[in-house]
Amino acid sequence: MKPVIFGLSGPVLTPDERTFFAAVDPAGYILFKRNIVDRAQVRALTDSLRDLSGRADLPILIDQEGGRVARMRAPEWPEFPAGPAFDALYEIAPISAIEAAKANAQAIGLMLAEVGITVDCLPLLDVAQADTTEAITTRALGSEPLRVAAMGRAILDGLRAAGVVGVVKHMPGHGRAKVDTHYHLPTVTASDAELAIDLQPFVALKGAPMGMTSHIVFEAWDRERPATLSPVIIEEIIRRRIGFDGLLMTDDIDMKALSGTAGDKAAGAIAAGCDLVLDCWARMDEMVDIAGRLGEMSDVSRARMDRAMATVAGVEAEGDMAALIAKRDALLALV
């Protein structure tokens, strides 16, 4: 098994993808809007991926946060609010905000589980600052670390109740980035003491089953390499200081924050200590390059993945989506 999560080009596997994936055996897959038509089609696609891999616990990922980051959309599926809606409620009613965040996540999880998606790249634990890039502020749970952690835990719990694994992101924190990593490489000049604030939500949720790195240079820790490619940040900050021992994947390595070939970036991330590479765009030449540069998934990484997926093994999805959405909306209406 290769330590990579690949994207797919369309709503069904192409013959070339089927042949390539069968030979390479990637650790998992991630779905985007281009892969999604309706319930029956998505379920057939996820079933085909499980059949191809031969693994019932195959990680099939999606970014279904709510707000602008949503791959499954109306009219086929409900719209969901993004993080700031819950942060606003927390200002006046913290317990209600936590309940609303959990109900919202559980409803999202039920929607995903129905079509065979097993992992949601949520929650964001990034602590927003006054000058944080809009790419994060429109999605973040707030600027107070313990508040972010409390709602992040509720989101993880809600997803798990529906049988879906959550992913905490973007380690060790994206809140001080002033530019969007989709297009630029941010450099953060904050001191180690200042960055301790950004770590707090991740420390509080260090037992999360999965985490995702950020493509950001933190000068206090590694002046040369972004977190995704930094052995210092992954080992010293994420693994030791935060204490995270879950499955650690990269953010999408196609983002312009990283330079080099797809194979170079993938190999660099694994060498730095990431368990998995996330490559989203299903470009066959790049996937071939990545597969050729990566060895087999390590025993340690495989154990982390198995442990993460075991957190939802046999979970009977709880709750009624309509009732959960109604509960969330009633609570959000308090603002």
Task: Give 6-11's long-range contacts (Cβ < 8 A, gap of 24+).
Answer: 6/30, 6/279, 6/282, 6/287, 7/31, 7/32, 7/35, 7/279, 7/280, 7/281, 7/282, 8/35, 8/45, 8/282, 9/34, 9/282, 10/34, 10/35, 11/35, 11/36, 11/37, 11/41, 11/45
Question: Is residue 260 included in any domain, yes or no?
Answer: yes
Pairing of strands 69-70, 64-66: antiparallel
Question: Is residue 56 included in any domain, yes or no?
Answer: yes
Question: Is residue 265 included in any domain, yes or no?
Answer: yes
Q: Are 139 and 82 spatial neighbours (Cβ–Cβ below 8 Å)?
A: yes
- The single residue of 157, 182, 184, 245 carrying the catalytic annotation is 182
CATH number, domain of 133, equals 3.20.20.300
Question: Is residue 146 included in any domain, yes or no?
Answer: yes
Question: Is residue 116 included in any domain, yes or no?
Answer: yes
Classify residue 258 as left (phi > 0), alpha (psi -120 to 50) or beta.
beta
Helices 145-161 & 192-204 angle (0-180, nearest 10): 30
Q: What is the DSSP-derived secondary structure letter of residue 131?
A: T
Q: Are 108 and 120 spatial neighbours (Cβ–Cβ below 8 Å)?
A: yes
pLDDT along the chain (335 residues), means of 10: 98 98 98 98 98 97 97 97 98 98 98 98 97 96 98 98 98 96 96 98 98 98 98 98 98 96 98 98 98 98 98 90 98 97
3-class DSSP string for 264-312: HHHHHHHHHCCCEEEECCCCHHHHHHHHHHCCCCCHHHHHHHHHHHHCC
Question: Is residue 3 included in any domain, yes or no?
Answer: no
Query: What domain range is 155 assigned to?
Result: 15-332
- The pLDDT score that the predictor gives to residue 186 is 96
- The single residue of 222, 251, 252, 279 carrying the catalytic annotation is 251
- The pLDDT score that the predictor gives to residue 151 is 98
- Determine whether 182 is an active site residue: yes
Into how many domains does the chain fold? 1
- The pLDDT score that the predictor gives to residue 318 is 81
Non-local (6+) Cβ contacts of 295 within 8 A are none
Question: Is residue 5 included in any domain, yes or no?
Answer: no
Q: Are 128 and 175 spatial neighbours (Cβ–Cβ below 8 Å)?
A: yes
